[in-house]
Amino acid sequence: MKTRNSDIIDFYRQLSLLLESNLPLPESLRQLAENFQRQDFKEVLSKLSDKTAIGTPLSNAMKNFPEQFQPFHIKMIEGGEKSGNLPEILREVAYISHIDSQLVSMVKSIAAYPIFVLLFSASLMLLIYTFIVPNFDNMFMEMLGGMPLPALTELTILISRFSVAYFPVLSIILGILIIFSFWLFLSGSTFAIKCFMKIIRRLPLSYSIFNNLMMARICSMWSVLMRQKIPADQAFQTIAGFMDDTAVSSALRNLSRKAFEGKSLAESLEEEGVISKMISLTVKHSPERELPNELATLANVYKDRAATAIRNTGMVWEALLIIIMAAQVGLIVMSLFMPLIRIIDCLGGS
Of the listed ranges 60-64, 208-212, 340-344, the least confidently predicted one is 340-344
Same-domain status, 341 and 263: yes
Q: Which residues contact 18 (CB under 8 A, 6 or more apart)?
A: 28, 31, 32
CA-CA distance, 32 to 81, in Å (whole number)? 19
Range of the domain at 100: 96-350
91: in domain: no
Same-domain status, 153 and 275: yes
- Residue 293, amino acid: N
pLDDT at 345 over 80: no
CA-CA distance, 16 to 278, in Å (whole number)? 32
Same-domain status, 102 and 139: yes
313: in domain: yes
Same-domain status, 15 and 128: no
82: in domain: no
Same-domain status, 276 and 185: yes
Predicted confidence band at 1 (pLDDT cuts at 50, 70, 90)?
A: very low
pLDDT at 137 over 70: yes
219 SS3 class: helix
Backbone dihedral angles phi then psi of residue 189, each to the nearest 5 degrees: -75, 160
78: in domain: no
56: in domain: yes
Average pLDDT over the chain reads: 85
Same-domain status, 145 and 190: yes
Same-domain status, 284 and 341: yes
Q: HEC profile for 28-87?
A: HHHHHHHHCCCHHHHHHHHHHHHHHHCCCCHHHHHCCCCCCCCHHHHHHHHHHHHHCCHH
Same-domain status, 25 and 116: no
Predicted confidence band at 200 (pLDDT cuts at 50, 70, 90)?
A: confident
Domain boundary among 53, 69, 85: 69
Domain boundary among 69, 86, 120: 69
Mean pLDDT, residues 267-282 taken together:
91
Same-domain status, 114 and 259: yes
Same-domain status, 58 and 105: no
Q: What is the pLDDT of residues 19-72, one digit of tens each?
A: 988 899 999 999 998 888 788 889 999 999 999 999 999 999 999 988 888 887
Predicted confidence band at 348 (pLDDT cuts at 50, 70, 90)?
A: low
16: in domain: yes
What confidence score (pLDDT) does residue 221 get? 81
What confidence score (pLDDT) does residue 170 get? 95
State pTM to two decimals: 0.68
Mean pLDDT, residues 130-150 taken together:
80
**CA geometry: angle 309, 311, 315, nearest 5 deg:** 115
pLDDT at 346 over 70: no
75: in domain: no
Same-domain status, 13 and 126: no
Mean pLDDT, residues 170-187 taken together:
91
Domain boundary among 51, 69, 87: 69
Q: What is the pLDDT of residues 110-126, one digit of tens each?
A: 788 888 888 888 998 99
Mean pLDDT, residues 241-259 taken together:
88
CA-CA distance, 338 to 150, in Å (whole number)? 7
88: in domain: no
Same-domain status, 158 and 211: yes
How many domains, the chain?
A: 2
